[in-house]
A and B are shown apart, each in its own frame.
Chain A
Amino acid sequence: MKLMVSVKRVVDYNVRIQVKPDGSGVVTDGVKMSMNPFDEIAMEEALRIKEAGNAEEIIAVTIGEQKAQEQLRTALAMGADRAIHVEVDEDIQPLTAARVLKALADKEQPGMVLLGKQAIDDDQGQTGQMLAALWDRPQATFASKVDLDGQKAKVTREVDAGLETIEVDLPAVVTTDLRLNEPRYVKLPDIMKAKKKPIDTTSLADLGVEAAPGLKVTNTAPPPERQGGKKVESVDELVSELKNRGLI
């Protein structure tokens, strides 16, 4: 079985995000970028599935600018066998990403496509679900545990009400939640070796995919600055303060 893992280049989670003065987006120039943390978890899960003898090959996929190859190199250093770079300079919307992954799934025929449950840049959290619909395969989203059993996978999902365990037929789409695993540290020699692993470059046109211009970002603004708090002496005072502010 092949596993396909999608990885996205995003602003590193340690970076204090700054909004561009004209509101057209966030500053990325000179900012540390890295692999979306949920995708790292997806990569790690794929590695564990392969190491347990349940898969033969891991293909890492990214959709994005030239520099996104850095994230593919990280995936290759973690242990992916090969990588596909779908080179696109514009911002990618979830539907476009899902179409690309569908086209690649048709081509590669993976037994499972693993994605992060969302990317920490715009937190959309839709790509996996859209892919399942386009591909017409089962989905197991927000996974916190994945067990393979022949042609099925038993997946524990983190849902609002708690944990839910479902069984899906393979091939299936799995999106990963935070508690699924703790990604490994990459070994330095593997970083060197990753430089020699193959990356195929392709494009939307090559894949016959049309970009989905359904969404338009009209403005990006920082959240309002937090106002200083106020200490109250008693419950009564608290209640009246809240009332005064129209909060209760």
Chain B
Amino acid sequence: MIEWSESQQSIRQMVRDFVEKEIVPGLDEIEYNGVPPYDILRKMIRTFGMDELARQNFDKQIARDRAVEAGEVSEQPQADKGGSGAGGERAAMTLIPIIELSRHAQGLVTAMGVSMGLTGGAIMSKGTIEQKERWALDLLTLDKVGAWAISEPNAGSDAFGQMKTLARRDGEGGYIINGNKTWITNGPFADTIVLICKLDEDGVAPEDRKIVSFILDSGMPGLEQSKPFKKMGIGSSPTGELFLKDVHAGPERLLGGSEAGYGRSGAKSTFMQERAGVAAMALGMVERALELSVGYANERVQFGRAIGDNQLVQLKLAKMEVARVNLQNMVFRYIETMAEGRQMTLAEASAMKLYAAQTAMEVATEAVQVHGGYGYMRESRVEQLMRDAKILQIYAGTDEMQVIAIARDLRQRAGT
């Protein structure tokens, strides 16, 4: 794939029209004044039938799960082996709205992606059939809002090592959970929460505790959801804390139906998905930053000529274009990978995320520079791109953690 197909281009145009007509006019209310993003996202999802697509895929998956359960087919996912391309088309249709939304408000993508992709995705990949039917479908259509909670005040990059949220068996098949989680996307408004914690067992040392995960509902006794934090950027993605005090979860809430259902490896595969999405977000942001910068470079006159006539400004524009092309190629590569029914390795996904996050930040910062004082003003929109870009280097694993993951993989493959 070297270019969007004609039909993908027309989808992009359509989504762009929708975003500009329906979302941008009310965006500041969501970005800065605390209006939750979910209603407008739902409107977009319904307008383009993304809910219908999710339902179709859901039904297929459930039918397959039942066949596996009945022993009719093997466990292997049938995902487009041999490359029928449908997986690629699906990936493109998921990425296009991400790119288009990120041009104006990356936060909307974060809120949507955490709910549909991470939370819904975690349940779809590891949940039991009952759990999928009870919780996942509503998340995949955004009828309900989801949160995926691993980070804690003292457990960030070292999430598994430092985790203090604990579940204890209640002796009747259920669990009592205590602890708190922070910086949780959608935390303040989530209806459904995938909570990753540790199992507190007698005779097991803290460092040996197993990772277990639960599906919780808003309003359960002992579960408190904070108000949204004030943040540097992505105001359209509400972020908050979760407090758990003796929350009682029955066995039906144990993700995957057993204590081994969704542990470290489950959480890691969720990270991977997240990382691919970051490249698409970065692409949308870089495209917009570049467009705005080229426009301003042509328009703004100083010393009797357009600022774009200066080589120092030209260099910035050229670097932005290089970044745009690279990011677009990464997105195309991801689509091709899906089209062939293959999975990216963790290292590859990490490399993509690292490059995308750093590049988005660099480009957005330079876009502000090209705009000078105007770039520092909210009206210019490039200052928002810069604030929104910073989060890409922090969540879903910091830049430093991506470096570690890439290097570890390289060294392992070299056999050291």
Which residues does A use to contact B, with CB under 8 Å?
12, 14, 32-34, 67, 70, 73-74, 185-192
Contacts and interface: CB of A to CB of B under 8 A. Distances in A.
Interface residues of B, number: 18
A73 B10 CA distance: 11
B79 interface: no
Interface of B: 6-7, 9-11, 13-14, 17-18, 47-50, 52-53, 56, 89, 93
Contact of A189 (B6, B11, B56): B56
Contact of B13 (A34, A73, A192): A34
A33 B48 contact: no
Do most interface residues of chain B lie in helix, strand or loop, or is the interface mixed?
A: helix
A188 B48 contact: yes
B38 to A, nearest CB: 20
B306 to A, nearest CB: 15
A150 B296 CA distance: 57
A74 B8 CA distance: 11
Contacts of B52: 187-189
B45 to A, nearest CB: 10
Contact of A185 (B6, B47, B53): B47
B89 A192 contact: yes
Contact of B53 (A33, A73, A188): A188
Nearest to A33: B6
Contact of B10 (A34, A187, A189, A192): A34
A12 B12 CA distance: 13
A76 to B, nearest CB: 11
B13 A186 contact: no
B49 A190 contact: yes
Contacts of B7: 70, 73-74, 191
A73 B89 CA distance: 15
B304 to A, nearest CB: 15
A67 B14 CA distance: 20
Contacts of B47: 185, 187
A34 B14 CA distance: 11
Contacts of A12: 13
Contact of A186 (B6, B14, B50, B56): B14
A189 B11 CA distance: 12
A185 B47 CA distance: 7
A188 B10 contact: no
Pick the 3 closest A-B CB pairs, nearest first. A187-B49, A70-B6, A189-B49
A124 to B, nearest CB: 24
B6 A188 contact: no
A74 to B, nearest CB: 6
23 contacts: A14-B13, A32-B9, A33-B6, A34-B10, A34-B13, A74-B10, A185-B14, A185-B17, A185-B47, A186-B11, A186-B14, A187-B47, A187-B52, A188-B48, A188-B49, A188-B50, A189-B52, A189-B53, A189-B56, A191-B7, A191-B11, A192-B53, A192-B89
